[in-house]
Amino acid sequence: MNRSICRLAVSALLVLYLPASAQNLAKKKNIIFIISDDHRFDALGIAGNTKISTPQLDALAATGFYFPQATIHSPQCSPSRSTFLSGQPAHRHGVFSNDVLKETKDSSRFFQQPTLPQLLQLAGYHTFLSGKWHVPAEPWKIGFEEIRYWMPGGAGAYKNPQLAFGNSKEKKKTIGFTNEIFAKEIISFLESPDAKEKPFFVWFSATAPHAPYKPNPKRIQNIYEGKTAKQLLPPAFPEQYTPGDFLHYYQAISFLDELVGRIMRTLEKTQLSRETIIVFIGDNGLMMGSRGMKGKVNPYEESVRVPLIIRMPQQNDTVHTITSPVSSLDISPTLLALAGVKVPASWPGRDISGLLENGKKNQLDYAITEWADNEHGYAAYRLIRTKDYKLIAWENLTKPMELYHLTIDPQETANLAGNADYKKIQQELLNQLKQWMSKTNDPALNWKNLPGK
């Protein structure tokens, strides 16, 4: 299918999702979607980490909903962001990993269905982007009408970076701290008349706390002055492993925290706060030495669990902690529902807007995480995670199934798969996982390593 036909097909599909309420823009809420990069779940004050300074994010959670059990559907930059944009799991949208993206010569095979920003734009939203991109297809081709400074690739310098601007991929040296450059563009938009003309969807994808972690402003460095990485370990970090560079990792997060605070104050100053939904989520976690591992992609907690905070307009000053196992796959359909836009039937994520109304409706039993790339040195897997248990199934026949009791073994040290006392739990989780795989036409359902195959 050539590119022009693809665009026509998407345009035709978009018409199907035009909501009946699209003309009543005054009632629609603004949305600011903030994505941190390589942000593990416990690198947040509200997560019980007293070593890190995140007062702004903690304050955001104090007036919103905090999801301590949130997981990412594919724990790496490109597949994770592609899921946010497409509403699809990796085995459907095709961006299996960053390596797949590197090999892509023709991006027309991606995003052939309506994307989140396209659907919001069709519903009358002004769609705005500033930040890291790192997905196939240029942002202006899949629904972003206004693009400020952006980073086409996956990482870059923390100061004086090479950035593109507007509908161009040409990169030029840009003076300043990278994430502050992005945040200033967003603040500039919020202070402009455009922000009040019609509802907006702002995509702020930070590079923090992705490596290289630094430099950060001196005032941020001063927060951790005299501290060593070992003194900054998050709660329950296993003593037998060598930790990563938590000092500069925390600095990067604290600077992002400051920038989020500036955006929040701008919303108050412009009187947009009571009309704006804010979502803060990590694109994936980072092992940082946990289990003796340094990267992401892994099916373990430090890699798949991420910070998630959602602040609804006109909430009171009470932290609403939602312990349901929400997935990043649920975010896009939820945002469409909150915007009054019909969610495509092909999107398998769950609308959790009921949870945001009273915290009791639409309780969720489990979340699914997948690693779909088996060609670039990683082992493909699928996992199902509840509040209490996690089951991991690998494609590789030499890797046994893993089952962990997360409430009594949060570091996942005791594999209970095959244990007679947990036989029923293991089978129930496996059945739920296979049902989800069948529902989403996941080719992994044919793995020989899955019992019953």
Please write the tens of the pLDDT for every residue from 409-437. Answer: 999 999 999 999 999 999 999 999 999 99
Question: What is the reported pLDDT for 86?
Answer: 97
Question: What is the reported pLDDT for 362?
Answer: 57
- Bridge partners of residue 278, in order along the sequence: 32, 311
Q: Beta strands of 166-239 (E only): which ranges?
A: 172-173, 200-205
Strand 389-394 with 146-151, pairing = unpaired
Strand 162-165 with 146-151, pairing = antiparallel
Give Cα separations from 174 to 60, 89, 162, 202, 339 (angstroms). 30, 34, 6, 21, 35
| Distance between CA atoms of residues 347 and 382, nearest Å | 18
Strand 126-132 with 172-173, pairing = unpaired
User: Given this chain, do its domains 3-364 and 379-453 carry the same CATH topology?
Assistant: no
| Distance between CA atoms of residues 132 and 196, nearest Å | 25
| Distance between CA atoms of residues 289 and 218, nearest Å | 27
- Spell out the domain ranges in the chain: 3-364, 379-453
Please write the tens of the pLDDT for every residue from 118-176. Answer: 999 999 999 999 999 999 899 999 999 999 999 999 999 999 999 999 999 999 999 99
Residue whose C-alpha is closest to residue 58's, from 234, 212, 198, 264: 264
pLDDT < 70 stretches in the chain = 1-26, 104-107, 315-319, 358-362, 452-453
Residue whose C-alpha is closest to residue 254's, from 189, 206, 182: 206
End-to-end CA distance of the chain: 35
Question: What is the reported pLDDT for 1?
Answer: 42
Residue whose C-alpha is closest to residue 44's, from 260, 289, 358: 260
Encoding tokens for residue 228?
A: 């060593």
Strand 172-173 with 162-165, pairing = antiparallel
Encoding tokens for residue 203?
A: 């995509």
* Contact indicator for 335, 30 with CB cutoff of 8 Å: no
Question: What is the separation of C-alpha 307 from the centre of its chain, rounded to a whole number of angstroms?
Answer: 9
| Distance between CA atoms of residues 363 and 361, nearest Å | 6
3-state SS class at 132: strand
Q: What CATH fold (topology level) applies to the domain 379-453?
A: Arylsulfatase, C-terminal domain (3.30.1120)
Compute φ and ψ for 36, nearest 5 degrees: -90, 170
Instruction: Kindly report the three-state secondary structure assignment for every residue of 339-399.
Output: CCCCCCCCCCCCCCHHHHHHCCCCCCCCEEEEECCCCCCCCCEEEEECCCEEEEEECCCCC
Question: What is the reported pLDDT for 414?
Answer: 98
Cis peptide before 212 (omega within 30 of 0): yes
- Bridge partners of residue 131, in order along the sequence: 150, 205
CATH for 3-364 is: 3.40.720.10
Give Cα separations from 419 to 244, 405, 414, 424, 433 (angstroms). 34, 12, 11, 10, 19
Question: What is the reported pLDDT for 250?
Answer: 98
